[in-house]
Structure formats: structure tokens, C-alpha cells
Structure 1
Amino acid sequence: MIKLFASDLDGTLLNATHMVDPVIVSALRTVTKSGAHFAVATGRTMRSPNDFGFHGVGIEAVCSNGSIILDRDGNTIYHSDVDKGVLEEMLRTFPQVCFECVGLDRTYVTGSPQDQLAG
């Protein structure tokens, strides 16, 4: 018996407006009601499994490239912090590079919004 289904978000579960579509939500409800788990695995940051339109589906989320894992209720069940000394060294060494550092309660961003969009 399959106990876990996992999927990426972009180009897989999310539509052109970056939301999950009702057909996918229905399929995910069928999977989770059967007793199996469903997890999204993404480099994106999710604050809750309800992000992107997954309201009431009961999914887990492996997000921020695996550094944060959320259970079905949105509780953090695992997180891995970047060493503050390493982060400080990166910011000093690469002042021209925009960084996005995701924490459990906020996201820290360097550079202007225009710099971020320019990559």
C-alpha cells in the first residue's frame, strides 16, 4: 500500500496563477481520506499547508529546500537554521548579491525590490 505521495509545486500542482486548481484539490482530498499522506516538496517558503489554495486538504509540506517541514496542521516539525556566522560571512563577502534568508517567523531580504527582481 502506498503511504505517501509527494509532489513539487511549480509546473506540477500549481496553475498559471500560482494556485492549486479545484480538480487537484479534489484528487488530494481523495488521497488523504484514503489514509495516505500527501506532501508538497518545494524550494518555496510556505507558512502553512493552506498556502497556494490547499485549504482544508490536510497536506504536509517540505519547504524552503527542506529546511522547514510542516505537518498537516501547519506546525513546524523540523527546521534547520543556517549558522549565523556563516550567514554573516556570506553577506560581508557578497554585498552586491541579494539574499533571501527564510526564518520560522519572517523572511529577511537584502537589496531593493528592483535588485531582487533583476536577480
Structure 2
Amino acid sequence: MDLSQIKMVVTDMDGTLLNSSHQASNRFFNLFRELQKRDIHFVAASGRQYKSILDKLDPIKDNITVIAENGGFAIQNNTQLVFTPLPNQRKKEIINLLEGVNNIYPVLCGLDNAYIKGDSPIFEKKLKEFYSNYELLDNLNDYPGEILKIAIYNFESSEKHIYPKVYHLEQDLQVKISGQHWIDISSKNANKGYALKKVMEHNNIQPHELLVFGDYNNDLEMLALADYSFAMENAHPNVLKAANYTTRSNDDFGVELILEKLVESQKLKS
């Protein structure tokens, strides 16, 4: 595996770069400085809210590109590269559909804020890990503004308890199982692969110059763009099958291990 040509590193956040405590390691931040020295661009690509991504990567937030809300939004150097909102009429349709489903918790995801019903303190506590900015509403239909996606949470399994209720929307929307507990519904072009392709074009990056890490189904489209695509050891079976390579788990520094190999390859090249 020759990583000497890599010019861009892209990684998912939860289950990939972040450990089970939802933190990035000091080892990663040290490696980021090594990437900077070699003009290797770093992209954080997550289903998280834009502000939440910045909070998790605060020491480097001014020097990275961010793909947020599963590809609904992308920004580099204060230049917005992607903004793909969910059509307002579909928003109302999905909210009304979800009203009849028990034990799920929808989140309306705007660019600067998220909106949830204020009837579950337990879910609100969980939400704070993923959304830095949010508001409580009596009725989700009361929010008239633009959103990027609707995220839906189940405390047990999104694949088991949410997906069967919404999979029919895949005909003309993105319906992504984005984690054990989450499903995201967004516009058809709002996925990490679409957003990453725009970032690649903006930076003139080719597939052999791209290194991508992921762990769940919402990472599949962006993994397909890279010659050097890595699934985490803890990844969903679909991701393990799709990626060209595997690395150790997010709790065993799987991303950092490959980045160290990347830095070493770059040193040998010079």
C-alpha cells in the first residue's frame, strides 16, 4: 500500500475518528500537524451538525473542510461548497408520517440550529452529544424554516425500529442508516459522496490522492470515491464489504494508525 500520493484525508466522526466517548485523541491532533506540514488537506465528514463538528475539532477548526449533516452542507475557508435542503413539502410529509410511530425521536436539522419536541428529557440529554445548538417545540410542524435533513433516533436499533417505517421514501429521497440509533432522511443529492465530490473538484483531487475512513452506511458513497478507502474494524458489514482496506477500531486508534503510515510514506517520498 503506497500512500505517498495522498493529498486529502477524509474521515467520518462517530465510530471512526471519535472514540466511544465521542472524543478525538491527542494522537490525532499531533498527526494533523504532520499532515499540515505536508500540505495534506483534512476533511471531517459527519452526520453531525456543523457546529457540533467544530466543537469536537476545536483546536484545528480553522484549518479544515467540513461536510456536515450527511453531506447536506459543506464549507471550506468560509466558502460554502454545498447546501442541499430538504424540500419544505417533504418535510411536512415526513413529520406527519413519523407522528404515528412509537418510541422514536425526530430532529429537524437546520444549518445553525436543530429542533425537537420538548416532551422527552431523556432524549434531550442524549441529543446534547450530537447537537450543540437546538430548540424545543410543541409541534415540529410549527417550524416554518429550511432544514437540511430529518434525523430520527431510537434507543435500541434504528435499523430494526425506524427503517421499516420509512424505507419506502428511498424512491426519491436519501434514507440512511447512519448509526446504531440514527436514521437520516434528506434530499436525494444530500449524501457524503455528493458533497465530497464537490470538495474534490474544488481542490482538484483525484481518487488515487484520496484517503477515506468510515464505519456506517452513510459513508458508502464517499468510500466509493477513493482508491484508499478504509472501513473501521467496528464498521457495519456493508462498509466492511465496500471498502478496499480495513483498519483497527475507533477505540483502538484505527484512523491514527493509517495516518502514521501516511506520514511515513510521505517522509520516504521526500
Determine if the TM-score, normalized by the shorter chain, exceeds 0.5: yes
Give the one of 32, 41, 45 matched to 2:45: 41
Range that drifts further, 108-117 or 54-63: 108-117
Report the secondary structure of 2:56's partner residue: helix
Give the one of 30, 34, 46 matched to 1:30: 34
Measure how far apart 1:111 and its partner are.
5.7
Q: Which amino acid aligns with 1:61?
A: V
TM-score by length of 2: 0.39
1:99 paired to 2:106:
yes
Report the secondary structure of 1:13's partner residue: coil
Report the secondary structure of 1:70's partner residue: strand
Which residue of structure 1 aligns with residue 213 of structure 2? none
Instruction: Name the larger-Rg structure.
Output: 2
Which residue of structure 2 aligns with residue 88 of structure 1? 92
Q: Does structure 2 conserve the Cα–Cα contact (< 8 Å) formed by 1:49 and 1:60?
A: no
- Counterpart mapping for 1:1-119 below 5 A: 1-47=5-51, 50-56=54-60, 58-72=63-77, 76-97=80-101, 98-110=105-117, 112-114=119-121, 116=123, 119=154
Which of the pair has the greater relative contact order for Cα pairs under 8 Å at 6+ separation? 2
Identity %: 25
Q: Which amino acid aligns with 1:64?
A: E
Report the secondary structure of 1:38's partner residue: strand
Measure how far apart 1:28 and its partner are.
1.3
1:114, 1:37 → 2: CA distance?
40
Measure how far apart 1:113 and its partner are.
2.8
Q: Does structure 2 conserve the Cα–Cα contact (< 8 Å) formed by 1:49 and 1:72?
A: no
Report the secondary structure of 1:100's partner residue: strand
1:46, 1:64 → 2: CA distance?
7
Range that drifts further, 14-23 or 43-52: 43-52
The alpha-carbon distance between structure 1 residues 48 and 91, as it changes in their structure 2 partners (threshold 3 A), is closer
Measure how far apart 1:66 and its partner are.
0.6
Equivalences, count: 118
Q: Does structure 2 conserve the Cα–Cα contact (< 8 Å) formed by 1:43 and 1:63?
A: yes
Report the secondary structure of 1:47's partner residue: helix
Q: Does structure 1 conserve the Cα–Cα contact (< 8 Å) formed by 2:49 and 2:111?
A: no
Measure how far apart 1:107 and its partner are.
0.7
**Regions of 4+ moved over 3 Å:** 114-118
Measure how far apart 1:80 and its partner are.
0.9
Measure how far apart 1:115 and its partner are.
7.0
Q: Does structure 1 conserve the Cα–Cα contact (< 8 Å) formed by 2:67 and 2:73?
A: yes
1:38, 1:65 → 2: CA distance?
17
The alpha-carbon distance between structure 1 residues 12 and 62, as it changes in their structure 2 partners (threshold 3 A), is same
The alpha-carbon distance between structure 1 residues 29 and 49, as it changes in their structure 2 partners (threshold 3 A), is farther
Report the secondary structure of 1:92's partner residue: helix
The alpha-carbon distance between structure 1 residues 4 and 36, as it changes in their structure 2 partners (threshold 3 A), is same
C-alpha RMSD of the superposition: 2.5
Q: Does structure 2 conserve the Cα–Cα contact (< 8 Å) formed by 1:48 and 1:70?
A: no
Q: Which amino acid aligns with 2:40?
A: A
